[in-house]
Amino acid sequence: MAAQALAAVVAIAVLAQSAAAAAAPPPAKGPVTYVFGDSMSDVGNNNYFPLSLAKSNYPWYGIDYPNGVATGRFTNGRTIGDYMADKFGVPSPPPFLSLSMVDDDVLGGVNFASGGAGILNETGVYFVQYFSFDQQISCFEMVKKAMIAKIGKEAAEVAVNAALFQIGLGSNDYINNFLQPFMADGQTYTHDTLYGLGARKVVFNSLPPLGCIPSQRVHSGNGKCLDHVNGYAVEFNAAAKKLLDGMNAKLPGARMALADCYSVVMELIVHPEKHGFTTAHTSCCNVDTTVGGLCLPNSRPCSDRKAFVFWDAYHTSDAANRVIADLLWDAMPSAGSGGAATTPLAASPAPSPSRAP
């Protein structure tokens, strides 16, 4: 049922663009998209923070991006969001900090994601400069005010109601907060703030199997996945789905869905060879035990980057991001396969954390 709900959110967002077309410049084929998230979704916002310790503007990052230039993406090429944007037929939304609030660009999609961010404001504080989730929402509020100044309040509201909101947060709340002994407990975040700003179609990415990322495997003693960490992700995802279902029930017009990233990423980890990979237990850059876990200039990347699921100790590779986007797309019957029905991934039993290699 989760895949059908996700498909409905996407289909509604695409169709709703026709209602906003009269108020904005000619739309692209797909929906205007606003992206909120962490380093898995960051497309360069942190590059604009001079003191940020969560950056990836180094050689090796971007080696498989067009022109081979680092862009602030925490991978060797494109993010999952980049590949999903291609499928929607729209450009990947630019980083918020690259925009001027007086340009027409504010009428299109925007990426607010920031490496180090979490759902809790406390998460990532030791990265010095970054956008917390609260700050990302404040940035969106600035964009909406700029839209109102350009096209008027009513037209801006129609455009925002029609847009697709993608949220990918939570991993850092565990990896860089809950699982760290020196971090205090965070505060509960009020989840309907974006709704109050006009968000109606929201896709929240579930947590992947965090216990299987290279930085966590090294703590197992035998290179295996950490079952208890995967258990946290499973519990979080169940609670997130319950929360979204509740919001759909109580908030008029809300269409919120959970994308099953856990099952998709676990599929690559358990069966890498089925998707063209040879290695899913360690990173291409071999930085699993390195402080920070990033592929710094002095690292030696693997010879075949397309063979590895993970690029560094935390982030999936360009090749994996392409496959993950394909699998997520195929799980949406009304979006993928030209509208043909497909078997939703979420309908199949997710691999148990204890079954992961």
Return the active site residues: 39, 312, 315
Helix (H) or strand (E) holding 35: strand 33-37
Ramachandran area for residue 252 (φ above 0: left; ψ -120 to 50: alpha; else beta): beta
Whole-angstrom distance, CA of residue 292 vs CA of residue 305: 20
End-to-end CA distance of the chain: 28
Per-position DSSP letters for 73-110, written without gaps between them? -SSSS--HHHHHHHHHTSPPPPBGGG--TTSGGGGS-E
Which parts of 160-276 are beta strand (E)?
164-168, 201-205, 255-259
Q: 164 in helix, strand or coil?
A: strand
Whole-angstrom distance, CA of residue 158 vs CA of residue 171: 32
Q: 274 in helix, strand or coil?
A: helix
Q: Strand pairing of 164-168 and 255-259?
A: unpaired
Residues 6+ apart with CB under 8 A from 260: 2, 3, 206, 237, 331, 345, 346, 350
Written as six digits, the tokens of 122 are 């406390």
**Cβ-based neighbour number of residue 22 at 10 Å:** 9
